[in-house]
């Protein structure tokens, strides 16, 4: 039986403005600049740049965190001020001036696919073959591989290009594509990629043995079962070593070697800077996070004109409603930037003081165990806010530029009952693996025993977890032949 009724319940929800503020806090410096430019383009009431300082009676005031106190109250009709100049202004560029070139460099040239298509023009192909070849080139990823089988390519040619062909014809054209540079392009697997490169090399005993190994015992080679390779091919260690060296010279990602890609050069812009001055840590926020923003004078004049007008038409009222919406958005955005600056500085300052010994010495062993909850408790903020600050931002330290989340780590107890950071354990693991006998790599079980001897009571599965986090392969794959 259906019933209708009322029910009261209390729910806590984030407002749309709070959600937007959280997204703003999460942005690193470069993404923040893009967001800032987008907001200025979309909101004509918001302008970038400094106002004339002589036109303001109020002096710049700064709080304890180094961020300017911003007057955002509005008086007349909630939007107009008695003064000729509005009080909306954000001038938080109070850190050291940035003279660096803020433009992002780009590498010139043609795309990888266009580079391959240009080479196809040197082959004599009819219209259908040329169309198939270009389609195949379009299927090649940035690493130089085709990740699809020929049957799928035949089907796609029929559906998308209205071109009916056969698997044999596509295979024939694929063989032509695989002759293009860089060597190994157009392969459908790592094995095929390596064989394509070896087949182009000058014939030699080492090259022939390497081809034989890849064609007939690729699994043994990939898993480094050297003893099985020695027995199967009845060769000496020196011969196997020479063949492996021949394979190691090859490029497993031929597409990555193409230098003409029209892609942005990866560039990290530190959001914070930590310096040591007379034994004291100094923290500053990148000045690009502190833009000069103010409300457009023209919009202020429009509202004043409407306020002084005796006859108010419907079109004028609609225009004023639009202006008020844009002013609200501009006012909120300026306030949000202020809150973003305060949150970033407050969070990073807490992290810096929590890891003060590390920042003063640069010794990884001095890193204290620290989780998001530790910082959240110190500054009375939510864990999710700390996570947004830490996950995507960098800090320039005397020991290099670091991702902030690298300073967070779990804690473990040593045999003395002291809390230690997992960073210290990972550093020991790296050193042990680096200095191990590569003919007999140390297994996870032996690594666990070695750590216990050093006073770190860690199980084998925990060692395996840390090893994977460090991108260290298992012992079998670290084995080399000498």
Q: Tell whether 168 is covered by a domain.
A: yes
Q: Tell whether 264 is covered by a domain.
A: no
Residues 6+ apart with CB under 8 A from 126: none
Q: pLDDT-derived band of residue 102, with 50, 70 and 90 as boundaries?
A: very low
* Domain housing 239: 112-257
Q: pLDDT-derived band of residue 12, with 50, 70 and 90 as boundaries?
A: low
Q: Tell whether 398 is covered by a domain.
A: no
Judge if 442 and 358 occupy the same domain: no
According to DSSP, the β-strands at 394-397 and 272-277 are parallel
Query: Which pLDDT score, from 0 to 100, does residue 273 have?
Result: 92
Listed ranges 63-72, 143-152, 252-261, 283-292; the one with the highest mean pLDDT? 143-152
Percent of the chain with pLDDT over 90: 5
Of 61, 66, 35, residue with least CA distance to 48: 35
Does residue 232 carry a pLDDT above 80? yes
Residues 6+ apart with CB under 8 A from 182: 144, 251, 254, 255, 257, 258
Model confidence, pTM: 0.54
Judge if 118 and 182 occupy the same domain: yes
Does residue 349 carry a pLDDT above 90? yes
- Tens digits of residue pLDDT in 259-274: 554 444 457 788 899 9
How many domains does the chain divide into? 3
| Inter-residue contact 352 to 359 (CB < 8 Å) | yes
Determine phi and psi for 443, rounding to 5 degrees.
Answer: -75, 170
Q: Tell whether 276 is covered by a domain.
A: yes
Judge if 126 and 234 occupy the same domain: yes
Judge if 241 and 284 occupy the same domain: no
Judge if 122 and 247 occupy the same domain: yes
Judge if 378 and 349 occupy the same domain: yes
Q: pLDDT-derived band of residue 353, with 50, 70 and 90 as boundaries?
A: very high
Judge if 174 and 304 occupy the same domain: no
Structure tokens at 207: 């090259």
Q: Tell whether 5 is covered by a domain.
A: no
Q: Tell whether 394 is covered by a domain.
A: no
Judge if 132 and 248 occupy the same domain: yes
- Tens digits of residue pLDDT in 239-264: 888 888 888 888 888 887 665 544 44
Query: Which pLDDT score, from 0 to 100, does residue 53 have?
Result: 46
| Inter-residue contact 102 to 289 (CB < 8 Å) | no
- Tens digits of residue pLDDT in 422-479: 777 888 888 888 888 877 888 888 888 888 888 878 888 888 888 888 888 888 777 7
Better-predicted residue by pLDDT, 139 or 45: 139
Produce one character per residue of 371-391: b if its CB has 16 or more CB atoms within 10 Å, e if not. Answer: ebebbbebeebeeebbbbbbe
Judge if 31 and 71 occupy the same domain: yes
User: Among the three residues 228, 257, 286, which one is the final residue of a domain in this structure?
Assistant: 257
Query: Which pLDDT score, from 0 to 100, does residue 308 have?
Result: 65
- Tens digits of residue pLDDT in 327-343: 888 888 888 888 888 88
Judge if 333 and 377 occupy the same domain: yes
Judge if 248 and 278 occupy the same domain: no
User: Among the three residues 257, 283, 311, which one is the final residue of a domain in this structure?
Assistant: 257
Average pLDDT, the chain: 77
| Inter-residue contact 28 to 393 (CB < 8 Å) | yes
Q: pLDDT-derived band of residue 351, with 50, 70 and 90 as boundaries?
A: very high
User: Among the three residues 331, 366, 383, which one is the final residue of a domain in this structure?
Assistant: 383
Structure tokens at 374: 């530790």
Judge if 315 and 449 occupy the same domain: no
Q: Tell whether 1 is covered by a domain.
A: no
Of 231, 228, 204, residue with least CA distance to 218: 228
Segment 52-59 mean pLDDT: 40
Q: Tell whether 402 is covered by a domain.
A: no
- Tens digits of residue pLDDT in 173-189: 889 988 988 888 988 89
């Amino acid at each position: 039986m259906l019933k209708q009724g009322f029910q009261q319940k209390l729910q806590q929800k984030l407002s749309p403005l709070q959600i937007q503020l959280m997204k703003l806090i999460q942005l690193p410096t470069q993404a923040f600049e893009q967001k800032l430019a987008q907001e200025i383009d979309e909101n004509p009431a918001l302008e970038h740049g400094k106002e004339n300082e002589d036109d303001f009676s109020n002096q710049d005031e700064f709080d304890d965190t180094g961020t300017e106190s911003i007057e955002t109250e509005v008086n007349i009709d909630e939007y107009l001020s008695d003064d000729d100049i509005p009080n909306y202004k954000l001038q938080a560029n109070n850190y050291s001036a940035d003279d660096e070139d803020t433009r992002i460099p780009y590498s010139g040239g043609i795309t990888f696919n266009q580079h391959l298509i240009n080479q196809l023009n040197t082959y004599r192909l009819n219209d259908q073959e040329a169309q198939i070849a270009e389609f195949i080139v379009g299927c090649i990823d940035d690493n130089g591989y085709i990740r699809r089988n020929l049957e799928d390519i035949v089907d796609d040619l029929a559906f998308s290009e209205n071109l009916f062909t056969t698997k044999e014809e596509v295979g024939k054209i694929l063989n032509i594509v695989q002759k293009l540079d860089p060597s190994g392009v157009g392969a459908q697997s790592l094995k095929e990629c390596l064989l394509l490169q070896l087949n182009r090399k000058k014939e030699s005993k080492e090259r022939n043995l390497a081809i034989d190994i890849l064609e007939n015992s690729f699994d043994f080679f990939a898993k480094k079962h050297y003893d099985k390779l020695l027995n199967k091919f009845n060769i000496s260690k020196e011969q196997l070593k020479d063949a492996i060296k021949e394979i190691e010279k090859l490029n497993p990602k031929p597409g990555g070697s193409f230098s003409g890609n029209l892609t942005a050069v990866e560039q990290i812009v530190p959001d914070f800077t930590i310096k040591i001055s007379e034994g004291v840590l100094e923290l500053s926020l990148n000045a690009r996070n502190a833009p000069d923003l103010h409300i457009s004078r023209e919009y202020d004049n429009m509202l004043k004109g409407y306020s002084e007008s005796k006859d108010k038409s419907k079109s004028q009222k609609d225009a004023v409603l639009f202006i008020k919406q844009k002013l609200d958005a501009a006012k909120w955005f300026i306030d949000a930037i202020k809150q973003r600056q305060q949150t970033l500085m407050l969070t990073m300052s807490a992290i810096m003081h929590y890891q003060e010994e590390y920042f003063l010495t640069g010794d990884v062993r001095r890193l204290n165990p620290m989780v998001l909850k530790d910082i959240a408790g110190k500054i009375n903020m939510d864990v999710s806010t700390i996570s947004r600050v830490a996950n995507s931002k960098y800090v320039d330290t005397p020991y290099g530029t670091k991702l902030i989340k690298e300073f967070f780590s779990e804690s473990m107890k040593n045999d003395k009952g002291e809390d230690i950071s997992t960073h210290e354990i990972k550093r020991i693991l790296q050193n042990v693996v680096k200095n191990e006998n590569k003919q007999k790599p140390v297994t996870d079980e032996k690594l666990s025993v070695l750590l216990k001897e050093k006073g770190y009571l860690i199980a084998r599965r925990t060692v395996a977890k840390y090893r994977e986090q460090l991108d260290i392969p298992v012992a079998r794959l670290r084995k080399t032949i000498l």
